[in-house]
Amino acid sequence: MKQYIFIIILTAAVTLVLAWGVWRLSLKYKLYPGIRERDVHTTPTPRLGGIAMYLAVVLAFAVSAMHPDPRFASFWSDPAPWAVLAAVTLIVIVGVADDLWDLDWTIKLGAQFLAAGIVAWFGELQIYTLPIGGITGFSSTVSFVLTIFSIVIVMNAVNFVDGLDGLVAGVALIANVVFFAYAYLLMRDMGSATYFTMASFIAAVLIGACIGFLPMNWNPAKMFMGDSGALMIGLLMACSAVSITGSLDPALLGDPDQFGRSQLLGAFIPILLPIVVVMLPLLDFGMAVLRRMRAGKSPFSPDRKHLHHRMLDMGHTDRDAVLVFYAWTAVVSLSVLLMYIGTTADWPGQYLPGVAFGLLGGAACLVVTLTPTRRTRPALQESA
């Protein structure tokens, strides 16, 4: 655990320092776009925060590669971290170009598929098992394709919700804290000799990067992370989930002596939790794609009908809308984590604490969502 704490502190400190530096340079050389019709902010703001986050992530990976602990040495003997770094570098380069010049969506999507392909092919990081409904394995082709599409979907889901100050950084921070706890406990419950995994390491790096960037991104934001930061976060979260969930042994998950009494745990929770932590981005992404395709537009054509835009229309302030998103993310992800802990710890009622927390927390979130502090706000119009 000490290694993880060190990684979090290091990444947070470096991100904060570099973010301030990038912000100053962006203002000096006017490296920021004008206000777009779909934007919520009214002052031109630099969108290159992803550069600072990326450099901090690379430094964290480099420090781990030079660390004398044998667990880190074993980690870097695998091709996966090298492939993840290559994919992240590609997606950040394309993201920065888009933040500066607004690239065509087909170029960005092509880069996303290429980055996902690098992870799946060269990193051999794939979804090999999905222990639901008896599906315990795939052919190599199906695993490869499923992995690529899963990574691309998560990248776009995270990028789609990046519309308010502090929204993505805070949601990703909460999600990765929960996922880090899950990955750590999962290795313990499976009897692993070491709790160090790629999933927990990436989650720790993202926790640090989000903590370090939030002071610059909190409302009113001095700087945005842009597509470079949001796509990088989505890519790393997807890689983290695939690295642990896609390789779980279904036989162990369903063994009551090894892994708790409930078959529901073995069949669903280890698969469900990585999805739940990005539930809101995935929901917004799905709704946006369906909405745009129904209107005869590209799924990636921008508009002002995302969930955060709708909350602003309801009367929420920008900051209140972000806090509501935080609350929903925390309630949903923590409730599933409590269900997992309850089952493996053999609690009485097993799922009752998690279900109760989810129901009560969800009811509280619903009340807050439907009772905004303001009742009127000019309607947001869809961009051309």
248: confidence class by pLDDT, cuts 50, 70, 90: low
Reported as a single tens digit per residue, the pLDDT across 178-205 is 989 888 887 777 666 566 788 899 999 9
263: confidence class by pLDDT, cuts 50, 70, 90: very low
Per-residue pLDDT at 255 exceeds 60: no
What pLDDT was estimated at residue 382? 37
CA–CA distance, 89 with 92 (Å, rounded to integer): 5
State whether residue 162 is helix, strand or coil. Answer: coil
Residue with more model confidence, 274 or 238: 238
Contact of 236 with 88, CB cutoff 8 Å? yes
Type of residue numbered 232 = M
What pLDDT was estimated at residue 198? 87
What pLDDT was estimated at residue 379? 45
* pLDDT (average), residues 244-259: 56
* pLDDT (average), residues 321-343: 87
Contact of 124 with 269, CB cutoff 8 Å? no
In 335-373, which positions are buried (b, 16+ CB within 10 angstroms) versus exposed (e)? bbbbbbbbbbeeeeebbebbbebbeebeeebeebbeebe
The residues that bridge with 135 in the sheet, in sequence order, are 132
The count of residues in the chain is 384
What pLDDT was estimated at residue 215? 95
Residue with more model confidence, 134 or 28: 28
Per-residue pLDDT at 143 exceeds 60: yes
CA distances from 142 to 129, 137, 146, 261 (A): 11, 9, 6, 31
What pLDDT was estimated at residue 187? 76
Contact of 83 with 122, CB cutoff 8 Å? yes
Q: Which range, 70-74, 145-149, 292-296, is most confident?
A: 145-149
What pLDDT was estimated at residue 33? 66
260: confidence class by pLDDT, cuts 50, 70, 90: very low
The residues that bridge with 132 in the sheet, in sequence order, are 135
Residue with more model confidence, 341 or 82: 82
What pLDDT was estimated at residue 318? 86
Per-residue pLDDT at 102 exceeds 80: yes
Map tokens 């009811």 to a residue: 363
71: confidence class by pLDDT, cuts 50, 70, 90: low
Reported as a single tens digit per residue, the pLDDT across 114-138 is 999 999 998 888 877 665 545 555 6
Per-residue pLDDT at 166 exceeds 60: yes
* pLDDT (average), residues 11-31: 93
From the list 80, 81, 115, the residue with the least C-alpha distance to 95 is 115
Q: At what angle do helices 198-217 and 167-189 cross, to 10 degrees?
A: 160
What pLDDT was estimated at residue 378? 47
Cα-Cα-Cα-Cα torsion 339, 340, 346, 348, nearest 10 degrees, comes to 0
Contact of 236 with 243, CB cutoff 8 Å? no
Task: Show the DSSP H helices in 277-351 as ranges.
Answer: 279-294, 307-314, 318-344
| Strand ranges, E, within 57-205 | none
Reported as a single tens digit per residue, the pLDDT across 293-315 is 887 787 877 777 777 778 887 87
* pLDDT (average), residues 255-262: 48
Per-residue pLDDT at 80 exceeds 60: yes
Residue with more model confidence, 193 or 368: 368
Mean predicted lDDT score pLDDT of the chain:
81
Residue with more model confidence, 253 or 168: 168
